Chain A
């Protein structure tokens, strides 16, 4: 349950024990989510650059403009993943806020093959940069983006 929904539900009453538990879990998880958020923010450029370099190596024939489009999309994906983490939002948030928008770029310019390579390298990099508890929170979001932009 999202915290915002929770607070809305309690507009004319106090939260019950179970709901307080949800809120407590949200607060307890905040330091870790904030830590992932900061790491994503601070490591954005090196991660994206490493992915871009790999794509150029793996797909030397891909048009530079197409790779730029795909990398720009990836940048938005990571930023929205970071936002989703802070708000403890789920994959539905990503789909509605950003993936519907990016999916059309992927289809229109036929970026699927590039995205495939991009996400393969991204996942490798993330598993080097992030700890297992961090990945547990981050990976489902990234995977949702990957699935949407590849298939």
Chain B
């Protein structure tokens, strides 16, 4: 008697692939002038020039505060992003995010990133049991230097990741960017953890400390 009954395997729950599959995810009601995702949520394609303009305009109007404004925008965005993300997956797979296996969650997050044109995302759980998560993104549209500020500049992403993972973890988490494509790095690296612990990281980054050195210092 076989331990695996394939008919049961299917009837328990349909075997589903990737919700954020580009071909299936994006659609449009062009008569109404709308681009939508497969749930019917509106999608807006923003041109790269808008992101450039946002960085330049905010920097001109608010100077040093531009960075914080964008991080805050990212946080608002991240909260809604989390809600939509978890609703989408819950509807699609028929299980709440809290019961979803880690792999489906991470794969979906990566695919979400790619399909929305935000570049490639990698989730590195190596230091998870030490209370840190490392995220790497490649080809980010948000990596643009602010005039006169030689620091990592994916502010919107920093905000999105902070809010998204805070929601997911059910406690406040903070994201700090340690390397940036706009500064010539191979990718953008973010460290996620509790704010008290990550507070000094920003100064370490500004003082020129490398990502690896920062991580080592944090996990010591």
Report B187-208 residues with CB < 8 Å from chain A CB.
none
CB-defined contacts of B107 to chain A, threshold 8 Å: 101, 104
Interface string of B113-147 (1 = CB under 8 A from A): 00000000000000000000000000000000000
Q: CA of A67 to CA of B10 in the docked complex: distance in angstroms?
A: 14
Which residue of A67, A71, A98 contacts B17 across the interface (Cβ within 8 Å)? A98
Q: CA of A48 to CA of B3 in the docked complex: distance in angstroms?
A: 13
Q: CA of A108 to CA of B106 in the docked complex: distance in angstroms?
A: 11
Which residue of B2, B22, B23 contacts A49 across the interface (Cβ within 8 Å)? B2
Q: In angstroms, how far is the closest chain B Cβ from the Cβ of A19? A: 23
Q: CA of A98 to CA of B2 in the docked complex: distance in angstroms?
A: 28
Q: In angstroms, how far is the closest chain A Cβ from the Cβ of B116? A: 16
Give the B interface residue count (CB, 8 A). Answer: 18
Which residue of B4, B23, B111 contacts A64 across the interface (Cβ within 8 Å)? B4
Give the A interface residue count (CB, 8 A). Answer: 23
A48, B2: Cβ atoms under 8 Å?
Answer: no
Given contacts A56-B2, A97-B17, A109-B103, 18 further A-B contacts (CB under 8 A): A45-B7, A49-B2, A49-B5, A52-B4, A53-B4, A68-B4, A68-B9, A71-B9, A72-B9, A75-B15, A76-B17, A80-B17, A97-B18, A97-B23, A101-B17, A102-B17, A104-B107, A108-B103
Residues of B within 8 A of A (CB): 2-7, 9-10, 15, 17-18, 21-23, 103, 106-107, 111
Instruction: Provide 14 A-B residue pairs closer than 8 Å at the C-beta atoms, listed in order of the A residue.
Output: A49-B7, A52-B2, A52-B4, A53-B2, A56-B2, A64-B4, A68-B4, A71-B4, A72-B15, A75-B10, A76-B17, A96-B22, A101-B17, A104-B107
